Amino acid sequence: MENLLQKYQIVREESQRICAPLEKEDYVVQPIPDVSPPKWHLGHTTWFFETFLLSGRDHYRLFDAQYNYVFNSYYESVGARVIRADRGNLSRPTVDDVYAYRNYVDKQMESSMSVLEADPATSKLVTLGLNHEQQHQELLMTDIKYILGHNPLFPPYELGYKLTANILGSFGGFISIDEGLYKIGYASDGFCFDNEQGQHRVWLDAFSISSQLVTNAEFLAFIKDGGYTDVRHWHAEGWEWVCQEKIKSPLYWYEIDGEWMYYTLAGLRKLDKEEPVCHISFYEASAYASWKGLRLPTEAEWEVAAEKFNWGRRWEWTNSAYLPYPGFQKASGPIGEYNGKFMVNQMVLRGASDVTPAGHSRITYRNFFHPPLRWQYTGIRLAKSIC
Amino acid sequence: MENLLQKYQIVREESQRICAPLEKEDYVVQPIPDVSPPKWHLGHTTWFFETFLLSGRDHYRLFDAQYNYVFNSYYESVGARVIRADRGNLSRPTVDDVYAYRNYVDKQMESSMSVLEADPATSKLVTLGLNHEQQHQELLMTDIKYILGHNPLFPPYELGYKLTANILGSFGGFISIDEGLYKIGYASDGFCFDNEQGQHRVWLDAFSISSQLVTNAEFLAFIKDGGYTDVRHWHAEGWEWVCQEKIKSPLYWYEIDGEWMYYTLAGLRKLDKEEPVCHISFYEASAYASWKGLRLPTEAEWEVAAEKFNWGRRWEWTNSAYLPYPGFQKASGPIGEYNGKFMVNQMVLRGASDVTPAGHSRITYRNFFHPPLRWQYTGIRLAKSIC
Amino acid sequence: MENLLQKYQIVREESQRICAPLEKEDYVVQPIPDVSPPKWHLGHTTWFFETFLLSGRDHYRLFDAQYNYVFNSYYESVGARVIRADRGNLSRPTVDDVYAYRNYVDKQMESSMSVLEADPATSKLVTLGLNHEQQHQELLMTDIKYILGHNPLFPPYELGYKLTANILGSFGGFISIDEGLYKIGYASDGFCFDNEQGQHRVWLDAFSISSQLVTNAEFLAFIKDGGYTDVRHWHAEGWEWVCQEKIKSPLYWYEIDGEWMYYTLAGLRKLDKEEPVCHISFYEASAYASWKGLRLPTEAEWEVAAEKFNWGRRWEWTNSAYLPYPGFQKASGPIGEYNGKFMVNQMVLRGASDVTPAGHSRITYRNFFHPPLRWQYTGIRLAKSIC
Amino acid sequence: MENLLQKYQIVREESQRICAPLEKEDYVVQPIPDVSPPKWHLGHTTWFFETFLLSGRDHYRLFDAQYNYVFNSYYESVGARVIRADRGNLSRPTVDDVYAYRNYVDKQMESSMSVLEADPATSKLVTLGLNHEQQHQELLMTDIKYILGHNPLFPPYELGYKLTANILGSFGGFISIDEGLYKIGYASDGFCFDNEQGQHRVWLDAFSISSQLVTNAEFLAFIKDGGYTDVRHWHAEGWEWVCQEKIKSPLYWYEIDGEWMYYTLAGLRKLDKEEPVCHISFYEASAYASWKGLRLPTEAEWEVAAEKFNWGRRWEWTNSAYLPYPGFQKASGPIGEYNGKFMVNQMVLRGASDVTPAGHSRITYRNFFHPPLRWQYTGIRLAKSIC
């Protein structure tokens, strides 16, 4: 097993590997507020280490005092910052500047690592910073896909890009779970985020859950049956969203001359019908389930059942709102802003996706997004109650 | 106990009693989209009976075929309708027209009541219609308060309006509840809404809950301590809301010459410090709880504990999102749109308020609103986990 | 000729005559910010007399000190006011209150009239107030038409409402005007607004101008020829407006079962093809002229030619921006806000319309609106240059 | 004098010289819709030559058929295009792609130039394309200034950037012009835009006009006297703009520790009080004039007087709306969209500015912008009527 320095180097290197195929121009743009420029991700993850681990240490000099204003994401308690929607309006710092910033901070981190590792508080913060960077690696992939996939020239990220890591076997059919008192939440010694901490009991009524994700072929049947225009299957807010945004298919799908195409990281391709459906909102996932006469699982159901099926190709929408577990406490200080303040108006996703860094997720991991968002690798797993 | 006809007459009469002190002009306006014109409430509750009980019956002639367009609220499956924000742009039908509509429908309902009562399906629909009208009676009161309370002349609804019905004694202190498996949800024979149906088990960790609501005096302490400007207590979306809307106190509060005043249905008055705080958003309730080092209860905790304290003066914000109970099923047909389609992005309120019709609420009742809304009689009850 | 008291009584009476057919509810609503509630017009014209002629006089007591806040239109120097878009949110003062206000101010004005008339400054202000009220009489008519014409029930204002006053004969053909130095602007002793004051010379190149307004039949030909979808005829901002607002015909026109209908003050009627086209924006007027290979006249051309044709049924869009005449001076004090501050981004209309009070307009009169507005009785007269 | 090929090479080279100091990232961003990314300007000016001169010629192959979608600005008749506000969301084509596109088109243009020059129609189009590119050179400078000047790091464009070309001597005082019939508009043989064509007579009343532009020192006096908070000097729409946008000084001005600084192309500098005021909206220019008890000149006054004073450092706001001259005709075909469709809601600027390409402007030149815009090098010259 790697020591902390090795882990640090592996994770930091991975962010730069992800960006290697980009042109400089690709690092800069922000087509929608949710999507950040790649250079911002590279700078922000570096700022995290500088701010929470290096800043204030003896002899450490900030790389550039103004970078706090540019690379702070949402830590209100760490000072003013560029508003999110303006990140794509900044041509400076340049890409080269950002890489210089990374190198500067990496050298300082590496030379301080033995000291940081020795103190449990800072060691834990380094690990948090690395898990934080892995979250941004997933966002880097999804944001890059959005940037290139919304360019009228549809440039590929890598012509030979292949989904190889996560091909899953299939169990087939639905898995039944008995009613009972179960435990969910993180209970081991390793790293987890504060929002999954606190193993606790939950009562579950009997239910069954699909061993497989909904496929593109299955979702096409929903489209062909008029699912997008049948109000009965939609939340009121989902229906408003569908009508206003004129949604007629998952994100990145295009019907061209009667053929369904979609944008992939390898470029525009014919839709692969066997793949699990991807890039759908919570509203679409929920409407699909209603159309099938089924429902989405809750996050507790998912966590209890997940040992019995393969997961990891799609973040799976649950019908649970993102709320604190019993006994949840925000950390004191700025790190306390990490998760707790987002616990309203978002839905929980469970699992991991094709672009999640290896080893980053786990069965207790709680991801969360607003119901209409689609640019993550989101999918559908169905469940039903057993009366 | 009253028979269905008597119940019908009592409830229908009550809506008109509520509107008696109004000027005709007060029936017409809609200062914000959430607030409907009183004449719209009077028409819409009538439309409910006409559409779901009279329309299509032998010999029944619609009062006016175009009223479906005007008075349908959100039943997509019953046809097109005036968009919500346009309700206050309609001078016609006039107030007199709406009362004529009520009289017409009431006569038809009354003469058909014995037949309707004999059939369990229609009898149940009449009861639903009456509970629906009681919900609108509460909205009538809150919307009238908004209309008059946002007029620069601050006209009283009734100069002598008194809060008499719901003065509650106090138990004092916090009530402790042991961990255990509890049942929540409606389990009796009487009427309940579909969203509270399905008694089911929930596991609760040990907690304690206040026997009393937070008072205006206590909330003033939060204000004076800078609660509205301390980001640490707020959800990210709550903080954005506070900053953008420049929120500095509960709705209807005005600081005039150093004295806190508030608008009541009896006009502008000096703030009563002993009253439970009212007209606050979920964000404010949650921030207040954080400032006290406590939290809001979940709806399950509330329901389990509520037999041990008095409730009924404020709708109490819980930290539970409005989601379906296990086994929840939408009714088939238009009535299926009643509750289920709103189960996203809203928080649950429990209890009842000063303006809830007598006998309308119950311990399993689930109300729900979007987090920033404040024009209902909302309040705060605190809870804490017992580790 | 009437003395000032008689004029006062005639004009004031006329405003109330216009409102006589209304229901109370019609006085209250404001379907778009441009359209004010009729009771606001009645109150505001009264406020003008109270504020600029009675307030501050010996022994005069304000009817209600808060009415300044409610009925001030745009006089920044006279204090705060309800924002324009909120006028329709005020149920109070009631219609009865407003009529009581009118009676109160009228009595005071009438008993003070001999004194006011004796002083040239106040006499002039009374005349300004009456012309101001006449402007609002026209707005009352157009706003009432909008309120009733946008109600889904299409209630008539008066079933027997007839356009009788302004039937114009026709000269036929185009009228040629030689190049030369002409004088425009008001030069007599009577009343005029500050924006038309200052007779001055303008050079005009030779041009000809139609003796008649464009008719509904002619405008239909433009529609049928695809005028609304041919970008070549539109200003860039007009094109954006057409696309965004999905404009396909003049305001109040509806194509029902292949037949063109329009809303009139007598209710929904079959389109009268011989009538001059009405309720069109500047963009539509200009696009129509382009489609005909002609142009709109400038306001100077219109004023020079207007003695040779009949006018008065439509406010006629010119291709002149609303700008000050040479030597234009704002009056000092609040009355200086009357016209000058609107001299940007608006286009000049000349003439008068079916709903202009008799005797209110004149050949030098300059009306002005923003290019996309259509709820006034606007029309088209074509011109062409003679090379 | 240069031949057309030489002119072509000089102008095309100049665009690239302007961009030489930029980082690649600076070419990409679009902080507000009015400001286009520099690489878009470089591509669009090239597209103009490709589309209107090369495309369709024998043997010419488009560099990339999709570039029409990316680089068309507003020519509706030439096909669909990226909406203006999305230009900054495109990372591709890259900067290198755009330079390759320029080289490709330049080679084709150069090898075809003798043929193009021989035909008066295409020769005229080449000249139009070069004047078009010069307009974009000015926009390049102003857009680059906006991009760098709104970056929180305030990077300079060139540390040693100097305003050297246009230092003007001063005549001092006001220049009087007698009333009379004057001619304005372009009357020579050289190139002019269609909007300035058609020399024609105008009558002017006597007036005088300042020989000098208003300076920063003079404008500071307006600020210090409360000019931005005195409603009497402002158009109604200007006042709304000032309040909503919280405008308190010209664009790029910052008051830091009691000292006025401004962003220049050489970086953030102490305000030079002797410089003509710059980067102000029409509303501010007009309010300043009102505060001085003077007014802005009309464009006809400016053109008649301009031989008697130096101009060329600021585009000077006039009080004339941008409207067609008598006899104005749009060209047929796409080139007809060049100017005419913008003739509404904009005000005329006369003169030239520090960043106007040498020889591009002339005394009859009509520039135009919407009243609130400030990112051009706009200034103020005062006038007054002589009664």
Q: pLDDT (tens digit, 9 = 90+) per residue, A85-103?
A: 999 999 999 999 999 999 9
Which residues does chain D have within 8 Å of residue C319's beta carbon, measured at their own beta carbons? Answer: 323-324
DSSP H stretches of helix in chain A = 4-19, 38-49, 67-71, 95-118, 120-149, 216-224, 236-245, 282-291, 299-305
| Predicted pLDDT of residue A333 | 77
Q: Is the peptide bond before A93 cis (omega within 30 degrees of 0)?
A: yes
Q: Which of B184-198, C153-167, D244-258 has the lowest mean pLDDT?
A: C153-167
User: Which tokens hold the place of C272?
Assistant: 């009268």
Nearest to C237 among D237, D344, D347 (CB): D344
| Predicted pLDDT of residue A166 | 46
| Interface chains of chain B (3 or more CB pairs under 8 Å) | A, C
Question: CA nearest D175: which of D212, D215, D211, D205?
Answer: D211
| Predicted pLDDT of residue D188 | 93
Q: Which of residues 92-121 of D touch A (CB under 8 A)?
A: 92-95
| Predicted pLDDT of residue A381 | 98
How far does the CA of residue D91 sit from the closest CA of chain A (Å)? 5
Partner A contacted by B241 (CB < 8 A): no
- Residues 6+ positions from A6 with CB-CB distance below 8 Å: none
CA gap C173, C210 in Å, rounded: 6
Partner D contacted by C336 (CB < 8 A): yes
Q: Hey, are the CB atoms on B203 and A201 less than 8 Å from each other?
A: yes
Express each pLDDT in D357-370 by its tens digit: 999 999 999 999 99
Average pLDDT over residues B6-29: 98
| Predicted pLDDT of residue B28 | 98
Average pLDDT over residues D288-300: 97
Question: CA nearest A174: which of A204, A206, A207?
Answer: A207
Q: Hey, are the CB atoms on A76 and B345 less than 8 Å from each other?
A: no
How far does the CA of residue B349 sit from the closest CA of chain C (Å)? 29
Chains A and D touch (3+ CB pairs under 8 A): yes
CA gap C94, C331 in Å, rounded: 34
Q: Which of B131-145, B277-291, C225-239, D169-183 has the lowest mean pLDDT?
A: D169-183
Give chain C's radius of gyration (CA, Å): 22
More confident residue, B334 or C128: C128
| Predicted pLDDT of residue A80 | 84
Q: Hey, are the CB atoms on A90 and D66 less than 8 Å from each other?
A: no
CA gap A256, A261 in Å, rounded: 7
Fold assignment, D174-385: paralog of FGE (formylglycine-generating enzyme) (3.90.1580)
Q: What are phi and psi of C204, to 5 degrees?
A: -120, 135
Query: DSSP letters along B101-132, please?
Result: HHHHHHHHHHHHHHHHHHSHHHHHHHHHHHHH
Chains C and B touch (3+ CB pairs under 8 A): yes
| Predicted pLDDT of residue D78 | 82
- Residues 6+ positions from D247 with CB-CB distance below 8 Å: D228, D241, D281, D284
Residue B163: pLDDT band with limits 50, 70, 90:
low
| Predicted pLDDT of residue D288 | 98
Residue A165: pLDDT band with limits 50, 70, 90:
very low
Q: What is the dihedral of CA C104, C108, C113, C118, to 10 degrees?
A: -140
SS3 C264: strand
Express each pLDDT in D314-351 by its tens digit: 999 999 999 999 999 888 777 877 788 999 999 999 99
| Predicted pLDDT of residue B214 | 97
SS3 A385: strand
| Predicted pLDDT of residue C165 | 44
Q: What is chain C's pLDDT, residue by residue, as a tens digit (387 residues)?
A: 689 999 999 999 999 999 999 999 999 999 999 999 999 999 999 999 999 999 989 899 999 999 999 999 888 888 888 899 999 999 999 999 999 999 999 999 999 999 999 999 999 999 999 999 999 999 999 999 999 999 999 999 999 898 644 455 555 799 999 999 999 999 999 999 999 999 999 999 999 999 999 999 999 999 999 999 999 999 999 999 999 999 999 999 999 999 999 999 999 999 999 999 999 999 999 999 999 999 999 999 999 999 999 999 999 999 999 999 999 988 777 787 778 899 999 999 999 999 999 999 999 999 999 999 999 999 999 999 997
Partner D contacted by C341 (CB < 8 A): yes
Partner C contacted by D7 (CB < 8 A): no
Which residues does chain C have within 8 Å of residue B82's beta carbon, measured at their own beta carbons? Answer: 152
Residue D164 has pLDDT above 80, yes or no: no
How far does the CA of residue A26 sit from the closest CA of chain D (Å)? 5
Nearest to D31 among A89, A92, A95 (CB): A89
Quickly count: other Cβ atoms within 10 Å of residue A263's Cβ. 21
| Predicted pLDDT of residue C234 | 96
How far does the CA of residue B31 sit from the closest CA of chain C (Å)? 5
Which residues does chain A have within 8 Å of residue B295's beta carbon, measured at their own beta carbons? Answer: 324
Partner B contacted by A236 (CB < 8 A): yes
How far does the CA of residue A67 sit from the closest CA of chain D (Å)? 9
- The count of CB pairs under 8 A between chains A and B is 80
Between the alpha carbon of residue B338 and those of residues A234, B74, B75, B138, D305, the distances in Å are 13, 9, 8, 17, 74
Q: What is the dihedral of CA B106, B110, B112, B117, to 10 degrees?
A: 120
| Predicted pLDDT of residue D331 | 80
| Predicted pLDDT of residue C228 | 98
Residue D169: pLDDT band with limits 50, 70, 90:
low
Helices and strands in chain B: count of H runs, count of E runs: 9, 12
Mutation pick from B341, B343, B373 vs chain A, by most beta carbons of A within 10 Å, is B341
Partner A contacted by D80 (CB < 8 A): no
Q: Hey, are the CB atoms on D343 and C235 less than 8 Å from each other?
A: yes
Q: What are phi and psi of C151, to 5 degrees?
A: -85, 135
More confident residue, B240 or C334: B240
Express each pLDDT in B356-384 by its tens digit: 999 999 999 999 999 999 999 999 999 99
- Percent of chain A whose pLDDT exceeds 70: 97
> What pairing do the DSSP bridges indicate for beta strands D200-204 and D378-379?
unpaired
Mutation pick from D25, D68, D90 vs chain A, by most beta carbons of A within 10 Å, is D25
Question: Between A38-49 and A4-19, two packed helices, what is the crossing angle to 10 degrees?
Answer: 160
Express each pLDDT in B92-104 by its tens digit: 999 999 999 999 9
Which residues does chain C have within 8 Å of residue B28's beta carbon, measured at their own beta carbons? Answer: 25, 28-29, 91
Residue D121: pLDDT band with limits 50, 70, 90:
very high
Mutation pick from B22, B87, B92 vs chain C, by most beta carbons of C within 10 Å, is B92
Partner D contacted by A80 (CB < 8 A): no
Q: Hey, are the CB atoms on B92 and C30 less than 8 Å from each other?
A: no
Average pLDDT over residues D213-228: 98
Average pLDDT over residues D253-267: 96
Q: Hey, are the CB atoms on B239 and A341 less than 8 Å from each other?
A: yes
- E strand segments, B157-199: 174-177, 180-184
| Predicted pLDDT of residue B169 | 52
Express each pLDDT in A253-293 by its tens digit: 999 999 999 999 999 999 999 999 999 999 999 999 999 99
More confident residue, A76 or D170: A76
Asked whether the beta carbons of B273 and B259 are under 8 A apart, the reply is no
Residue B293: pLDDT band with limits 50, 70, 90:
very high
Residue D284 has pLDDT above 80, yes or no: yes
Indicate the average pLDDT of chain B: 94
Residue A338: pLDDT band with limits 50, 70, 90:
confident
Nearest to A25 among D66, D69, D92 (CB): D92
Q: Which of residues 37-66 of C touch B (CB under 8 A)?
A: 39, 66
